[in-house]
Every structure is written in C-alpha cells, then in structure tokens.
Chains A and B, each alone.
Chain A
C-alpha cells in the first residue's frame, strides 16, 4: 500500500540510506525509460522520481530543460507516462514519485489525474510550482487517492513556513540543497547538515536531499545525516551522452550502483 513509507522503514531496519533517482520520462523514449527503470531497480535504486516533461520548466537547469524538450518532441504525454508506470507496476514494487509542473496535471484534470495515477500505481507526486499555499486544489484528490504529496523545503524557507509545510507533509520531505535551479551548483555539505538538523527537529518524516548532487563522495557525506539522496541532472546527462550506445542501461546502472555502494 504505502510503498514509500515501507521502503524507508525497511531501509532504516537495515541501517541503509535511500538512493532516489530522477529520470525525465520519454527521454529518449518511454520504452527506454521503462528499461532504465528496471535496470536502476536492479542496481539498487530505492525510489524513482519520474519527471513529467513540461514546456516551461522554470525550476530546472539546462540539462533537465533539454531532456524535457527531447521528451516532448518524442511525443511524451502525462497519459503516456501513467501507462508506462502501470506497465512497470505489473512486475515491480519500486516506489514511484511523479515529478513535474502543475499545468500538464491541470490540463489532464486534477480529479481524473488522482484516480488514474492511483490506478497506475503512482505512490507520490512532487509538483514544483505548487507551494503549500496553492497545493489544496490538487491535494483534495491526491490525498483521497492515498498518493503522497511530497513537499519541498528550500534553503530560503524560514522556520514558520517550515512548520506549516512539515505539518501537512507526506511520504518524505525533500530538502533543496542549493539556492538555485536543478543541477547548477555544488552543495555546501556543512550548511545542508545544519538545515537538515532543523527540519529533523519538527518532523518524523524521512528527509531526502537533492538538486546538485552528482558524485559518490557527496552522496556519502550527505547520507550521514539525511535519510536519502536524490540524483537527477547527473543521470539525465549520462543518458543523453549514451543514448545511442547499446549498453545504455548498463552504463546508467553502473553509475548508480557506485553511488548506492557509497551510501
């Protein structure tokens, strides 16, 4: 049922940290995304963030912007992504979070989305441009569908906001490790440690850290105090660089298993 919660509980029991990997769905094709998901699961990835491409990704850096454009050119739609997730669900129990922007969901219909996403086996949604204040119009449906609404905490989020966000958060809290868009800066480990400590005081939910993590050593250091690390742009870049290579799945799997081992 609650795959995200169960996953973190199982990891905690084994004293392991979660490796969360982001992929832009449909880059280079939905079929390849599915193959990559299976490869990633085998390589030890704990939770998947599947990016639903959007024409105007204002919180993303150049790598994910370009991936979104390629995915849209390849004809990727939210309906197609949900179909792909339901295919994955037939054979896999890996927790899946859909990551994206509100307009494609709004155009699909928020109510229909919550029902179809549940049916497909989606476990969580993370909508970058739906902050606490605006989340209600989606959450009334996704909460009812028992889909975790994953909330972001930024380095700029103050204490009062943090309490409000944490009070209604579900699944895990996602701490943005840099003041910036995805994949564009190197996080400062000491600052992140302090901030994660503050979040820890007011929530029992697991805390994942992402935006700008690309190296095993960084992941290892962050995993000492966080419950999970998110790798996004680094994987998306590697997929693009090797999209014509027959061994694409092996290359990506090799990269992530190196990070998983470091955790």
Chain B
C-alpha cells in the first residue's frame, strides 16, 4: 500500500512536524484527534459539502479564457474561478471546514492571522455564520494597503487587532496570533489560513482546499476529455496551490508549477520566494524552506501581493520541491502587475495580485506551447482589494 503523508507526527519527509510551545501541544493533539474523527464522519463531510455548495457557491467554474488564449497564440488556457466563491477567494473553502470543526469541538471563539485580508474576511464571515466571537491579527502595513478588507471584517463583526512588530505584515500577524493563542488556548480555536503551521494544520488545510483540484479534474474531463498538460498556481503559504495540485499528485503527464513572488527581483533581497531563495529551517511550528540569514534569523519577506508576503512556505510544498513533484518558479511584482492589467482588459476579470502571479507565469508558458496543449491556472481570488496598490504603481 502507498504510504500517505504526513506521518503520525505530521512530517512530510524531513519537513513539517509540530515545533510548538508545550502550552499548545495538548491543544494540537486534541485538534488532530477531532479532525481525524470529522474526516471519517459522513455527517460532518455531508454538512461541509452542503455549506460549500449552498453558502460558498461551489462548484466554481472552470472557464475557458478564449481572448487570453488567442492573444498569446499558444496553449489553451482555463481559469479555475476561485474568485467567484463567496468572499472572493478560495479562503472560504478552508474557513468553513475549520469553523465546523470548532463547532464540533465546542469552541465559541476563533482567531486568525491575515495578510491580504482574504483569510481574515473568510474567517470573519464564518464566525458570523456560526455565531462565534472573532479576532483577526493583521500587520499595520497590510491594514494600510488592504483597507477595503479591513472594513469588511469590521462590518462582519470581527475585531481587527493591528500588529506593529517586525515589518508589520503576515509573519508578524502569525507570531501575534500564536502568542494570543498560547494565552487563550482553552476556549479558542485558531483558524490558520494556509497549509503551514504545526501539524495537523498543513494536512487539514490541504484536505479542505483539495475541492479545487477535485472539481478541476471532473470539469476538464468533461470539457476536454483529458487532464491538463500544465497546472499553475501562486504560492505564498501555498493553500490554493496545494488544493489545486494535490488531487493530481499521482497523475502522469501533468506538469505542475508553483509560482513564488520574486518581488523586486531574485537578485535583490526584496522577494518572498522561500523555496527559490531560502534554506530549510523552523518557524511557526513546522520545518520548511525559510528566508533567513546565516544565523537562522528569519528575514522579512517582500511582495506587492500582501497574501504572498511570507518568509516560509507550507511543508508539503517543501516536500513536493524536494521530490520534484512540482516545479517552483518565480514572477516579479512588475510581471504580476502586467498580468493583472492584461487579464482585466482581455477577459473582464480583475484578479487578485496574488493570483496575477500565476496568470503571469501562464503568459510566459502559453506562447511556447502547441495550440492543442492545455493550461489550467488557479485564479485564487478577485482583485478589487488591490485597486489602491495598483493606483500607487502608476499602472493606470
């Protein structure tokens, strides 16, 4: 029988694990048990599927981007429209799952970290839906550049806690959420937004997000009668990419590309490409690739896309990189902004700046591929939140 990962302590090869403070360990073990029970509980899965369908609006379309395809003169491009989910990104797939689990575990308070604010909004949304008290930790810099999402969280009744430490972005928000959790662990459920953190989060978030890849598989089979040749998704922590890739992990002839943010360029220190520009280390409960200095101090990440602005990456991505299952590539701020404008004008779809990294890589690949080849891009979120950032670049 094929071994499934992670192993019982949450390791994917040398990556992953549970590098957490003792105060949190009992809660992590309790969560692991509760998740294992929910995973095998038909009623839980049925209810989860019901909320995904009736509340989030799944299945999301797999859309053939005709004008984009024609103007690139190459492979056929399909967009997996996660931007059409309720709240505007794939994040709701995971927060619905975790909120249902919190309810099963009798926890009435939830906390979350957020970068772009998409996970914060998705968490505030499910907290409202299930009547839970909600605190969102967000870096001050991100509060500034993602203001519309801050308002949405407040409208939904969440408290947004500004985080001033470090570069006041996603890493610092996660530090602060973990610190708060150490003090509130008895009655509070921490909804981590990506496939990172201590075990069981990477596995649990992967499972909740895998609906993206499962739907894609059915949809492309119906439309094209075969698997895509190439799949592309952006990678910060990596939850939309993991959700897209995981159901295809054992398929032959599907080349998968995870796109990291190269920021101002890989020859500068201003990027967020943990796999392409980092080394193995331990942060936020797991062993993975990290941006760090020679002394093991974590470096500040940078990307124009707040949701990619994180110095680590989910441990299963680290494992997929080590085993060459997925190829990890990079796209700069400039290329992402160009792709943002391109998709908006060609298809009338404004992508999140995070997703625009994946679109940009498709724009590089498609012209080099034959017209009968197929690319699927995970369009993980919508770009309304990025209007201010785009105006500041002068791209308009």
Main secondary structure, interface of B, reads mixed
**Contact between chains at A161 and B26 (CB < 8 Å):** yes
Majority secondary structure, A binding face: loop
CA distance A103 to B312 in the complex (A): 13
Across the interface, which residues of A come within 8 angstroms of B131, CB to CB? Answer: none
Is A154 an interface position by the 8 A CB rule? yes
A58, B284: Cβ atoms under 8 Å?
A: yes
Known pairs A56-B283, A156-B27, A179-B182; A128 contacts B298 (CB<8 A): no
Q: Are A103 and B22 in contact (CB under 8 A)?
A: no
Cβ contacts A196-213/B at 8 Å (1 or 0 each): 000000000000000000
- Which of B27, B171, B185, B296 has most chain A Cβ within 10 Å? B296
Interface size class of B (residues with CB under 8 A): 35 or more
Q: Complex: how many Å from CA A49 to CA B178?
A: 24
The verdict on A77 contacting chain B, using a C-beta distance below 8 Å, is yes
User: Shortest beta-carbon distance, A105 to chain B, in Å?
Assistant: 7
Instruction: Please name 30 pairs of A and B residues whose Cβ atoms are closer than 8 Å in the assembled complex, sorted by A.
Output: A54-B296, A55-B166, A56-B175, A58-B178, A60-B179, A72-B297, A79-B295, A102-B19, A103-B282, A106-B280, A107-B294, A129-B19, A130-B19, A131-B18, A131-B25, A134-B18, A134-B19, A151-B22, A154-B25, A154-B26, A155-B23, A156-B23, A156-B186, A157-B25, A161-B25, A179-B183, A179-B185, A180-B182, A181-B182, A184-B183
Chain B positions near chain A (C-beta within 8 angstroms): 9, 17-27, 165-166, 171, 175, 178-179, 182-183, 185-186, 279-285, 290, 292, 294-298
> 1/0 per residue A74-109: CB within 8 Å of B?
000111000000000000000000000111111110
CB closest residue in chain A, given B171 = A56
Closest to B10 in A: A133
Partner of B183, one of A60, A101, A102, A185: A185
Which chain B residues border A107 with CB–CB below 8 Å? 279, 281, 292, 294-296
Query: CB-nearest residue of chain A relative to B26?
Result: A156
Q: Is the CB of B183 within 8 A of A157?
A: no
A176 within 8 A of B: yes
Q: Contact between A154 and B22 (Cβ–Cβ < 8 Å)? A: yes
A-B contact count (CB 8 A): 119
CA gap between A58 and B298 in the complex, in Å:
13
| B295 near A181: Cβ-Cβ < 8 Å | no
Interface residues, chain A, with chain B CB atoms under 8 Å away: 54-61, 65, 72, 77-79, 101-108, 128-134, 151-158, 161, 176, 178-181, 184-185
Inter-chain CA distance A184–B18, complex, in Å, is 24
Is the Cβ of B9 less than 8 Å from the Cβ of A104?
Answer: no
Given contacts A59-B179, A157-B22, A179-B182, contact A103 B296 (CB under 8 A): yes
Residues A103 and B281 in contact, CB atoms below 8 Å apart: yes
| Bound: A151/B290 CA distance, A | 26
> Separation in Å of the B217 CB from the closest CB of chain A?
35
CB nearest to A76 among chain B residues? B295
The 8 closest A-B pairs by CB, nearest first: A107-B296, A180-B183, A104-B296, A154-B23, A55-B297, A152-B22, A103-B296, A59-B21
Cβ of B380 to closest chain A Cβ, rounded Å: 26
Tell me, rounded to whole Å, the shortest Cβ–Cβ distance linking A4 to chain B: 20
**Inter-chain contacts of A105 with B (CB < 8 A):** 296
Q: Inside 8 A of A184's CB, which chain B residues have their CB?
A: 183
Known: A55-B298, A104-B295. A158 touches B26 (CB 8 A): yes
A179 to nearest B CB, angstroms?
Answer: 6
Contact status A131-B20, CB under 8 Å: yes
Say yes or no: A102-B27 contact (C-beta < 8 A), given A78-B295, A134-B19, A179-B185.
no
* Alpha-carbon separation in the docked complex, A107 to B283 (Å): 12
Q: Known: A56-B175, A65-B165, A77-B295. Contact between A128 and B283, CB under 8 A?
A: no
Residues of B within 8 A of A79 (CB): 295
Chain B residues, Cβ within 8 Å of A154:
21-23, 25-26
Contact of B285 among A108, A129, A132, A158 (CB under 8 A): A129
Nearest B-chain residue to A105, judged by Cβ:
B296
- A51 to B348: give the CA distance in the assembly, Å: 55
Residues of A within 8 A of B282 (CB): 101-103, 106, 129
> Which of B27, B171, B183, B282: most chain A CB closer than 10 A?
B282
Contact residues in B for A72 (Cβ distance below 8 Å): 297
Residue from B179, B290, B295, B296 within 8 A of A58 (CB atoms)? B179
A57 to B179, CA, bound (A): 9
Q: Are B23 and A106 in contact (CB under 8 A)?
A: no
Residues of the B chain whose Cβ atoms lie less than 8 Å from the Cβ of A104: 295-297
